[in-house]
Structure 1
C-alpha cells in the first residue's frame, strides 16, 4: 500500500488536489513520530499554493452575549449560566478598534455579533459602523452576524463588506451534539448565499468538541466541498457555565496533525489560527503550526477569551521571515 504522505505529495503538492475524507483520516491517524514529516509536507503545500505571506486580522464584538442559540461551546449563549452579559459597542468604539487593528499591520477587521441572525437594528448599526470605519481607516471589513436571508446578504455586499464569516463549527454528523436550536444545513445555506453574492467566505470551526477523528476528516472534506476563501481553525477553550466546560484541551500533537491534515485537504485556502491555540499549543506549538500549513492569524484577544499580544505574534512572523500580506493585495 502506498504511503499517505507519498500520495499527498503527488496529489496535493504537485497537482493542488486536496485530500478526500479517507485520505485526511489517514493523516490524522499517523503515529507521532511522523508528525515532523507531515508538518513539513503541509508547509511545502502552503508555500507552493498560497505563498509565504501571512494575512493578519483583528476581531471585535459589536454585540456580545445574550444570544438565543444553544451552541454548547459558547459563553455568549443566553441559555447557559455563563459570565457574559449582553453588551453593545458604540460606533466610536468600533472605529477605535479598527484603527488599533490596522496599526498592527492587519489587513482585515471583523465585526462580530452574538445573534442567531441580524435584525433591523443590528443591520443599521453595522451599516453605520462600516461607513465610519471606511471613512477613518484603510482596512478590509468583514462581518460575522449569524445566519442571513438573501436580502441581508445583498445588503452587506452592497455596504462593501469584503468577507463574511459563518462557521459550520464541526462535521455535519456531529453538529446535533453541539447545537440543537438550528441545523448544520441552515449554516451551509448561508455560506452558499455569501459566495454567490461575491463576498469572500470565511468558514471554519472548532476542534475538540467530542468529535471523532473520522468526524474531523469528514469536516475537512465538507469544507473542501464548500471551498471557502478562508478557514479559521479554533481549538476548544472550555468556558465556565457551558455544556462543554469540562471537556479536555486538545493535545498539542493532535492539534498539529489536524492543522496539517486540513492544509492538505485545502491546499489553496487561507488557513487561519483562531481561538484556543494559546492553551492547546503554547508558544512552541504556535511556531510549529506556522511551519505546518497555517498562513493567517488573528492577533490580540478573541470574543470572550484572551489571546497572545499582537507584538508577540508579529515578532514570531518576523523571526520566521514570513511577510505580512499587504492591504493593497487584498482590496
Structure 2
C-alpha cells in the first residue's frame, strides 16, 4: 500500500481521534476504498475513536415484534411485506408476551427493549396495544423502552413521548440516491420527516440502515454523511440477510471485509454516536467478524433473535463482551 493510500488514516487520526470531528462524505469514501492490507490499522483506529469519544461500555438491547407481517409497503429487503410471496404471515403479540420478553431481555443485562411493528404507520388499534404494553412493562421491568412503528403523525409522536418512550427507531435504510431502488411505496423524505418530529418531541433518535442492498461504495459514503447530518443518538448497522420471496432474495451477502470497512468508516463519520451491531452480522461476519467489529468501532449490540431471522444466542454476545473486557452499560447511564 502506498503512502498516499495511507493518508486518509493519518487524516482521520488527527481530525476524528484528535478533534472529535467526523469524516466528510469524500473522506468516508476514501476509507471505503482502502485496500485489504489497510483493514487492520483502520479497525484499530476506529476502536481508538470509539474508546476516546464513547468510552468502553457497550449498550445491549433486545427487540420484539408486536405486529408481524402483512405490511403494505414494498421494502425490497423485507419478508414482512404483504406484497411479496414470503413465508411470513401476519400475527399480533399479546401484552403478557410483551412483558415476558422484556423480562427475559432485562435478564441479559440489556438496558433497552424495542417494540417493533411491521406497518406503514400505526393505527388506533396499534397505538392502544403499544400503550397497554408499555404500561405493563413499566410496572414489572426496569428497562428503557424504545419503539419502531413506522412513519408517525405529530399527534402520534406526542402520544409516544407521553407514554415514556425513550428512543424511537426509524431507519433511513440507505442513501437517498439509492432509496427508490429499495422502496417505492413511500419516500426517503417521508422517513426523514418522522425523524425530525421525534427529535423535536425530545425522544432520542435511532436511525440506521442495511448495507449490501446493491448500493455502490459512493452511496455507502453518501449514507454515512446523511446520517451524520441527522445527528442520531444511535445508528443500527444491519447487513442484508437475503430473504426468500423478496426482490433482494437472490443478492449475495456483503463481503466480510467490506462490512468491516463500513463499520470503521461509519464510526469515523460518527465518532460520538451509539453504533449498534444489528441484523445480518451473523451471516456476513460470523463469530470472528463479531469480535473484529467490537474491536473496530461498534459499541452496542442487539442480542438474541431479530424480527424474522435468527441471531446469535444472547449468552454468546454477553460472554464475548466479558472476554473482551467491555462492560455492559448500566441502565442509569442510558437515561
Q: What secondary structure, in the 3-state scheme, does the structure 2 residue paired with 1:61 have?
A: strand
Name the stretch that deviates more: 20-29 or 2-11: 2-11
Q: Structure 1: how far apart are the matches of 2:27 and 2:167?
A: 30
Q: What secondary structure, in the 3-state scheme, does the structure 2 residue paired with 1:109 have?
A: strand
Q: Structure 1: how far apart are the matches of 2:309 and 2:45?
A: 32
Q: What secondary structure, in the 3-state scheme, does the structure 1 residue paired with 2:235 have?
A: strand
1:132 maps to 136
2:88 maps to 84
Task: Tell me the CA shift for residue 330 of structure 1.
Answer: 1.4
Residues 24-43 of structure 1 mapped to structure 2, 5 A cutoff: 24-43=28-47
Q: Structure 2: how far apart are the matches of 1:210 and 1:33?
A: 24
Q: Structure 2: how far apart are the matches of 1:280 and 1:299?
A: 16
Task: Tell me the CA shift for residue 329 of structure 1.
Answer: 1.3
Task: Tell me the CA shift for residue 157 of structure 1.
Answer: 0.4
Cα deviation digits, residues 134-192 of structure 1 (max 9, x gap): 00110000000000011100110010000000000000000000000000000001011
Asked if residue 112 in structure 1 is aligned to residue 119 in structure 2, the reply is no
Asked if residue 197 in structure 1 is aligned to residue 201 in structure 2, the reply is yes
Q: What secondary structure, in the 3-state scheme, does the structure 2 residue paired with 1:59 have?
A: strand
1:147 maps to 151
Q: Which runs of 5+ in 2 are unaligned?
A: none
Q: Structure 2: how far apart are the matches of 1:189 and 1:255?
A: 29
Task: Tell me the CA shift for residue 289 of structure 1.
Answer: 0.3
Task: Tell me the CA shift for residue 312 of structure 1.
Answer: 0.3
Residues 176-325 of structure 1 mapped to structure 2, 5 A cutoff: 176-325=180-329
Q: Structure 1: how far apart are the matches of 2:42 and 2:29?
A: 13
Task: Tell me the CA shift for residue 297 of structure 1.
Answer: 0.1
Q: What is the CA RMSD across the aligned residues, in angstroms?
A: 0.6
Task: Tell me the CA shift for residue 293 of structure 1.
Answer: 0.1
Q: Which runs of 4+ in 1 moved over 4 A?
A: none
Q: What secondary structure, in the 3-state scheme, does the structure 1 residue paired with 2:113 have?
A: strand
Q: Structure 1: how far apart are the matches of 2:334 and 2:161?
A: 16
2:179 maps to 175
Q: How many residues align?
A: 331
Q: Which runs of 5+ in 1 are unaligned?
A: none
Task: Tell me the CA shift for residue 261 of structure 1.
Answer: 0.1
Name the stretch that deviates more: 176-185 or 2-11: 2-11
What TM-score do you get using the length of structure 2 for normalisation?
0.98
1:75 maps to 79
Q: Structure 1: how far apart are the matches of 2:153 and 2:24?
A: 31
Q: Structure 2: how far apart are the matches of 1:109 and 1:236?
A: 23
Task: Tell me the CA shift for residue 63 of structure 1.
Answer: 0.0
Task: Tell me the CA shift for residue 328 of structure 1.
Answer: 1.3
1:123 maps to 127
Q: Structure 1: how far apart are the matches of 2:319 and 2:202?
A: 34
Q: Structure 1: how far apart are the matches of 2:118 and 2:281?
A: 22
Asked if residue 63 in structure 1 is aligned to residue 67 in structure 2, the reply is yes
Cα deviation digits, residues 34-85 of structure 1 (max 9, x gap): 0000000000000000000000000000000000000000000000001000
